[in-house]
Amino acid sequence: MRVIFFDLDRVLTPQSHVLLIADRIGKKEEFKRLFKGNIVGSTGLEWIVKQGIKFLEGYDPSIFEETAKKMEIVKNGKNVIKELKKNGYYPILITNGFYRVAKIFGERIGIEEAYGNKVEEKNGVFTGKIYSDLMTLKSKGDFVRRILREKESEFSVSVGDDENDWFMFKETDFSILFNPTPSIINKIKSLKKERGIRELTKFINLIVANDDLNLILPFLVPKPDLFPKVFNMERKIIR
């Protein structure tokens, strides 16, 4: 079995599902301030997720389903998933965001298995607490490693968009940095020695600086005699 892991935001959808939910409950500006702290390096992603879940206290869980059903799909998203499955790949969606959103959205595009943070519910509303262990940056890699072992994968791929995915990248045979922000591309090109970027680039095989998911297919569905060339290719940027 060939297993391929997809991050959610900016990979399968051009939107941030967390910000979409925040907008629905009238807390978009509060969420933006949380994310700004992560961008400037003053807060970590785990802290942001925990704070974001607190904002959900008292709200109806149906907002997850409503959001997932309305989220945009990245360009050629459905077709790529269909083509990958036809060629023996088993797609899995894994996010540091919300499991229920990922599960419903994934089903829309043909991905049956999803992982993410589960928010506790009580008396028909969110409690503002996490239901399961928090999906941290490191545990994302732990999940990937465990799943690959369970499925006895013969070849594995991961597709993510930023530093938050490097623990996932390091666990797979082939890693694709897809649709990264211009700032990440500039950091990589300028070879800045920031720890996150330095660790990230160790495990990247391909960079797709574009939002068309179809661009990853030539590297994943080649003719059998071309597979060794894909395995051994030097990192390159596709625009």
More confident residue, 187 or 88: 88
Kindly report, residue by residue over 12-56, the tens digit of the pLDDT.
999 999 899 999 999 888 887 776 654 444 445 677 777 888 889
Supply the mean pLDDT for the chain: 85
- Spell out where the chain has E strands: 2-6, 89-98, 113-117, 119-122, 125-130, 155-160, 174-178, 206-208, 236-238
Domains contained in the chain, number? 1
Domain that holds residue 184: 2-238
> pTM value?
0.87
Question: What pLDDT is stored for residue 188 in this prediction?
Answer: 73
Question: What pLDDT is stored for residue 134 in this prediction?
Answer: 74
Q: Which residues pair with 92 in a beta bridge?
A: 5, 113
Question: What pLDDT is stored for residue 42 in this prediction?
Answer: 40
* In contact, 136 and 115? CB cutoff 8 Å: no
Q: Which two tokens stand for residue 5?
A: 């892991």
Question: In terms of C-beta density within 10 A (0-12 exposed, 13-18 middle, 19 or more buried), how is residue 105 classed?
Answer: buried
In 3-state terms the chain splits into helix, strand, coil percentages (rounded to 5) of 50, 20, 30
Among the listed ranges 184-188, 201-205, 228-232, which one has the minimum average pLDDT value?
Answer: 228-232
Question: What pLDDT is stored for residue 158 in this prediction?
Answer: 96
Query: Does residue 62 carry a pLDDT above 50?
Result: yes
- Distance from chain centroid for Cα 185: 18
Domain CATH number, residue 111: 3.40.50.1000
How far CA 220 is from CA of 84, 103, 120, 163, 235, in Å, comes to 8, 24, 38, 22, 15
Among the listed ranges 144-158, 193-207, 212-226, which one has the minimum average pLDDT value?
Answer: 193-207
Please give the Cα distance from 159 to 130 (Å, whole number).
Answer: 26
Kindly report, residue by residue over 100-148, the tens digit of the pLDDT.
999 999 999 999 999 999 999 999 999 998 876 677 767 889 999 999 9
Kindly report, residue by residue over 215-236, the tens digit of the pLDDT.
999 999 975 554 544 544 445 6
Query: Does residue 97 carry a pLDDT above 80?
Result: yes
pLDDT (average), residues 167-186: 89
* In contact, 39 and 26? CB cutoff 8 Å: no
Question: What pLDDT is stored for residue 36 in this prediction?
Answer: 65
